[in-house]
Amino acid sequence: MKTATQTAVFRAVAIAKTYQMGEVSVRALRGVSLELYEHEFVVLLGASGSGKSTLLNILGGLDVPTSGTVHYLDQELTACDDADLTRYRRDNVGFVFQFYNLIPSLTARENVELITEIAQSPMDAVDALDLVQMKERANHFPAQLSGGEQQRVAIARAIAKQPKVLLCDEPTGALDVHTGIVVLEAIARINRELGTTTAVITHNAAISQMADRVISLSDGQIAGVETNHRKVQANELSW
């Protein structure tokens, strides 16, 4: 079991992001500063359009801020070129999105192996599937799996390279409550057992009870940060 430490994995200072769409500029982030700590489980909560995905994409090196700085440990992401960011993502970040994006013609195990074949120090693909309780389905194709099962395979794929951080954008957004809870259990287990620093975006306030800390975004700014002194297990949640 790994618990949160005070070592900052991410340090963002005064990040702003403006999207220029012709004449119109959209201020998606308006001066966000935060730290995420090693082994921590953080929920990013906020209404649609509050800037959650923009923030997560910047932390994950998929996007760059218009101003401000972001560090991942000692590496300044905001000073990186595209090749550096690609390497940073490949070596350190697992992503989970609302839609699973599995390759339909490959089995669950082969979908995970696509990643383990190019990673520096991967775990065995079947061990990754075991962590999300999908080992028995390793030889099944995505079409033979439910939405929640496909999402668990996508989580296995994201963590098989043993990334330092796992960034999840609405991982239960397409799932019913029961299935969503099973997926959240898998994410919490990885955080607990591997110590992967985990950030989960949601607009479902119930999920925030699982986190070490809850960072609320509103209109491109941090509206509040709360620490949960008692974390609730996924199977105790309802919404």
Binding site for ligand ATP (CB under 6 A): 19, 21, 26, 28, 46, 48-54, 203
Residue closer to ligand ATP, measured from CB, 118 or 205: 205
Paired tokens of 168: 């999840």
Nearest Cα residue to 226 out of 212, 213, 217, 210: 213
Round to whole Å and give the CA distance between 125 and 127.
5
* Shortest Cβ 173–ligand ATP spacing (Å): 9
Round to whole Å and give the CA distance between 164 and 190.
11
Residue closer to ligand ATP, measured from CB, 130 or 219: 219
Residue closer to ligand ATP, measured from CB, 77 or 123: 77
Give 209's DSSP letter: G
* Shortest Cβ 30–ligand ATP spacing (Å): 10
Residue closer to ligand ATP, measured from CB, 19 or 239: 19
* Shortest Cβ 63–ligand ATP spacing (Å): 8
Round to whole Å and give the CA distance between 208 and 14.
24
Residue closer to ligand ATP, measured from CB, 63 or 110: 63
* Shortest Cβ 20–ligand ATP spacing (Å): 8
DSSP per-residue string spanning 69-132: EEEETTEEGGG--HHHHHHHHHHHEEEE-SS----TTS-HHHHHHHHHTT-SSPPPHHHHHHHT
Q: Work out the number of other CB atoms within 10 angstroms of the CB of residue 52.
A: 25
* Shortest Cβ 18–ligand ATP spacing (Å): 9
